[in-house]
């Protein structure tokens, strides 16, 4: 029997059992698309994180109160040290350090010409920004002076909020920042400050900076009511090779009351978590595909039972065992091809939908949310397609073998 | 049958015969289409040993129309299953066109069924999801016939049997008589040496059954097809060239009508 006739006979058999065929294809589609979605989101997340850390200078460390949590920049220990100017001086006194840059961080409500949005505030000596982010550049304007309490640099995502056609703010315009805090007596106090936009930053790739407003350290202290308690200190080692030494020195000096973390260490932990995630994702996806394969076994096995007289007739009119085997394998292959192809397409679409649905602020704090697009590498898609297809064919083998081995006389007798 | 339809079938049959001789590896020069020698079939089961066939022997000439009759359990269908190579005997030999069919392996037996044997079943056994035309050409497709050749032959046979207008219909939408004609057409597509008909009129009313029987008779007498028909109907059996009466797995009578 030629391949075309074989294909047509198998195709007709599948069409004859439309609902069951569609449900089986659906199982393969679900398994395949799940693997594609999870792979795409995982790859997108990894690429996003890598991009974030690649924007940071190689010689910096982040120092914060208590043991640093690697999953966020917040301190997590009750046994933490408040970072103030005394602590800064102690850190500065350590060898192999070229600069120590304190910063306040927080979240405020921004108003500009009647429009409002939440934004992150980074209060730092603006002239030292390039120590942390060497590639920082401006769309318009320039950095503000260290003592200028009324000027601000604005990140790209604040200027051009996602989904908005017009700019939130332009160079030279005044923006109003509103922050509130609860004092020790439990009273809610609101602080309002106006800033003139003196610089608009180019997209840096660093989400924290792109969705922040950068202001002078003193202005930040007042606006966020920090009472001279810094949230974080960026320590610049003399050279990238000194980073580990500086980290050890800080740890030796402050113990667990201060935490010092390098971008490299954060990245390593992130990568480790990502590879753990990838293994988990692969396992979930394969389980989904195996469930799909079991569906194919069930469908084709039922099909063999239902078509037993047909198989007997085919054998009586001269079909070889291999022809019967091939008919069922082609049916399984068709289910695999259609299921895997739809699964890849739906998986790509689903990946984008999921990434939009899970748009969030990955670094914590306020400000515009971040959309991390999934990444679908062609080779990954081809691998998933072949995995789905191969599992479908393997699943079809047992029912096909069973059908091919039926005695024609026994098959013809079956009602 | 009209003389025009008969002429078409006669011409087509001639073509098929020429091609068949070229296809077959062994060309049998004897006058026998089928030879059965000491054929036995014994079933061993928990209920005991059942002798379905007990060393029966007979030969059928090319072009003969033979009926096999007998009461239920006499071994009629068992003989047909053996001759059709659907089942293997406990002992004995069967030769079709001089070939000892049970000396062949499974693949060769399948080829034998495809090229040299045509089956007509009581319950038609057509593939209902596909068209009449495809059903008829299926043995040709299995034989590796080109698509155009299979299409042409199937159409010609359907025309000869008067059901060409049903070619695009599904068998399930046809009457029993029409379905059996489709089954006859299917049995002819590869121009087999013998046609085995297992109670071909058993599921049909008397009139339709007679029509189908007349068609088989016409195939035998006009176009020299060798036909072996199992039947319960003594009138139909008497209308064949020869009747073999089986009883308890043995040939009780072998009479020429």
Rounded to a whole number of angstroms, the distance from the CA of A308 to the nearest CA of chain B is: 11
The alpha helices in A225-377, defined as continuous H runs, are 243-254, 263-306, 308-316, 321-357
- B193 located within any domain: yes
Per-residue DSSP letters for chain B?
Answer: --HHHHHHHHHHHHHHHHHHHHH-SS---SSEEEEEEEEEEEEEETTEEEEEEEEEEEEEETT-EEEEE-STTSSHHHHHHHHTTSS--SEEEEEETTEEGGGS-HHHHHHHHHHHEEEE-TT----TTS-HHHHHHHHHHHTT--HHHHHHHHHHHHHHTT-GGGTTS-GGGS-HHHHHHHHHHHHHTT--SEEEEESTTTTS-HHHHHHHHHHHHHHHHHH--EEEEE-S-HHHHHTSSEEEEEETTEEEEEEE-
Chain B interface with A: residues with Cβ < 8 Å: 81, 84, 86-87, 106-107, 110-115, 119, 121, 125-127, 129-130, 138-139, 141-144, 147, 186, 190
- Does the pLDDT at position B176 exceed 80? yes
- B99 located within any domain: no
CATH of the domain at B219: 3.40.50.300
Say how many Å lie between the first and final Cα of chain A, rounded.
27
Residue in chain B lying closest to A405 (CA): B106
Query: Which residues are registered as beta bridge partners of B37?
Result: B93
- B250 located within any domain: yes
Q: A99-103, A144-148, B51-55: lowest mean pLDDT where?
A: A144-148
**Residue with tokens 């997590």, as numbered in its chain:** A76
- B52 located within any domain: no
If you average pLDDT over every residue of chain A, what do you get?
84
Measured CA to CA, the distance from residue A42 to residue B164 in angstroms comes to 61
| Nearest beta carbon to residue A319 from set B86, B119, B142 | B142
- B251 located within any domain: yes
How many independent structural domains does chain B possess? 1
**Residue with tokens 């920090």, as numbered in its chain:** A226
pLDDT 10s digits, A214-230: 998 899 998 988 888 99
Q: Is A414 on the interface with B (CB under 8 A)?
A: no
Give me the pLDDT at residue B11, please: 43
Find which of B86, B88, B145, B186 to mutate to test the A interface (most A CBs within 10 Å of its CB). B86
Query: Confidence band (pLDDT; 50, 70, 90) for B26?
Result: very low
Give me the pLDDT at residue A379, please: 93
Find which of A317, A321, A404, A406 to mutate to test the B interface (most B CBs within 10 Å of its CB). A317
Give me the pLDDT at residue A368, please: 52
- Does the pLDDT at position A149 exceed 50? yes
pLDDT 10s digits, A30-81: 889 988 988 888 888 888 877 777 777 778 888 887 654 444 444 444 567 7
Give me the pLDDT at residue B171, please: 93
- Does the pLDDT at position A362 exceed 50? no
Give me the pLDDT at residue A78, please: 52
* Pairing between β-strand B65-69 and β-strand B226-230 as defined by DSSP bridges: parallel
- Does the pLDDT at position B101 exceed 60? yes
- B41 located within any domain: no
Q: What is the domain range of residue B226?
A: 3-29+62-85+114-256
* Neighbouring C-beta atoms of residue B239, cutoff 10 Å: 18
Query: Confidence band (pLDDT; 50, 70, 90) for A415?
Result: low
- Does the pLDDT at position B80 exceed 70? yes
Query: Confidence band (pLDDT; 50, 70, 90) for A337?
Result: very high
Q: What are phi and psi of B115, to 5 degrees?
A: -95, -35
Percent of chain B topping pLDDT 70: 88
Mean pLDDT of B157-172: 91
Find which of B110, B128, B129 to mutate to test the A interface (most A CBs within 10 Å of its CB). B110
Measured CA to CA, the distance from residue B163 to residue B208 in angstroms comes to 14
Query: Confidence band (pLDDT; 50, 70, 90) for A369?
Result: low
**Residue with tokens 């070889």, as numbered in its chain:** A320
**Residue with tokens 């939908």, as numbered in its chain:** A353
Q: Is A18 on the interface with B (CB under 8 A)?
A: no
- B101 located within any domain: no
pLDDT 10s digits, A82-94: 888 888 888 889 8
In the Cβ-directed half-sphere of B150, how many Cα atoms lie within 13 Å?
A: 20
Between B145 and B16, the higher pLDDT residue: B145
């Amino acid at each position: 029997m030629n391949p075309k006739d074989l294909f047509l006979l198998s195709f007709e058999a599948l069409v004859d059992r439309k609902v069951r065929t569609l449900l089986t294809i659906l199982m393969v589609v679900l398994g395949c698309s799940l693997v594609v979605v999870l792979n795409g989101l995982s790859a997108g997340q990894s690429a996003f994180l890598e991009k974030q850390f690649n924007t940071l200078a190689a010689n910096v460390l982040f120092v914060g109160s208590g043991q640093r949590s690697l999953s966020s920049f917040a301190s997590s220990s009750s046994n933490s040290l408040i970072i103030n100017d005394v602590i800064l001086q102690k850190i500065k006194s350590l060898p192999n350090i070229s600069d120590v840059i304190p910063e306040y961080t927080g979240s405020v409500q921004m108003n500009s010409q009647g429009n409002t949005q939440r934004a992150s505030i980074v209060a730092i000596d603006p002239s030292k920004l390039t120590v942390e982010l060497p590639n920082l550049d401006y769309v318009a304007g320039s950095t503000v002076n260290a003592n200028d309490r009324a000027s601000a640099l604005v990140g790209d995502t604040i200027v051009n909020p996602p989904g908005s056609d017009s700019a939130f703010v332009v160079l030279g315009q005044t923006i109003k920042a509103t922050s509130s805090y609860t004092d020790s007596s439990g009273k809610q106090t609101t602080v309002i400050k106006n800033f003139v936009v003196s610089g608009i930053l180019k997209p840096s790739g660093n989400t924290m900076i792109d969705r922040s407003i950068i202001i002078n350290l003193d202005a930040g202290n007042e606006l966020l009511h920090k009472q001279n308690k810094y949230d974080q200190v960026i320590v610049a080692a003399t050279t990238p090779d000194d980073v580990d030494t500086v980290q050890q020195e800080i740890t030796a000096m402050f113990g667990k009351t201060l935490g010092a973390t390098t971008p490299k260490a954060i990245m390593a932990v992130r990568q480790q978590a990502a590879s753990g995630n990838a293994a988990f994702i692969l396992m979930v996806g394969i389980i989904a595909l195996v469930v799909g394969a079991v569906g194919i076994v069930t469908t084709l096995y039922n099909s063999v039972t239902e078509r037993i007289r047909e198989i007997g007739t085919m054998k009586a009119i001269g079909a070889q065992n291999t022809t019967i085997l091939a008919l069922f394998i082609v049916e399984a292959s068709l289910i695999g091809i259609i299921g895997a192809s739809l699964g890849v397409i739906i998986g790509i679409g689903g990946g984008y939908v999921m990434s939009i649905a899970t748009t969030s602020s990955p670094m914590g704090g306020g400000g515009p949310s971040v959309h991390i697009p999934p990444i679908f590498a062609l080779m990954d898609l081809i691998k998933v397609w072949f995995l789905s297809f191969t599992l479908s064919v393997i699943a079809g083998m047992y029912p096909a073998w069973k059908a091919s081995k039926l005695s024609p006389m026994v098959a013809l007798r079956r009602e | 049958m009209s003389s025009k339809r008969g002429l078409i079938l006669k011409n087509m049959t001639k073509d098929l015969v020429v091609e068949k001789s070229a296809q077959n590896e062994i060309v049998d020069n004897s006058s026998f289409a089928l030879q059965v020698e000491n054929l036995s079939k014994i079933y061993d089961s928990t209920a005991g040993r059942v002798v379905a066939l007990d060393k029966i022997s007979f030969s059928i000439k090319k072009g003969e129309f033979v009926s096999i009759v007998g009461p239920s359990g006499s071994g009629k269908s068992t003989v047909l299953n053996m001759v059709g190579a659907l089942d293997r005997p406990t002992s004995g030999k069967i030769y079709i066109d001089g070939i000892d069919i049970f000396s062949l392996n499974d693949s060769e037996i399948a080829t034998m069924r495809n090229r040299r044997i045509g089956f007509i079943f009581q319950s038609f056994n057509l593939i209902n999801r596909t068209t009449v035309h495809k059903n008829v050409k299926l043995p040709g497709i299995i034989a590796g016939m080109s698509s155009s050749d299979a299409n042409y032959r199937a159409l010609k046979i359907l025309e000869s049997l008067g059901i060409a207008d049903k070619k695009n219909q599904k068998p399930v939408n046809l009457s029993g008589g029409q379905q059996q004609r489709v089954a006859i057409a299917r049995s002819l597509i590869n121009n087999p040496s013998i046609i085995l008909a297992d109670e071909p009129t058993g599921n049909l009313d008397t009139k339709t059954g007679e029509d189908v029987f007349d068609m088989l008779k016409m195939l035998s007498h006009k176009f020299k097809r060798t036909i072996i028909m199992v039947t319960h109907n003594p009138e139909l059996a008497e209308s064949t060239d020869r009747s073999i009466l089986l009883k308890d797995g043995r040939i009780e009578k072998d009479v020429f009508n």
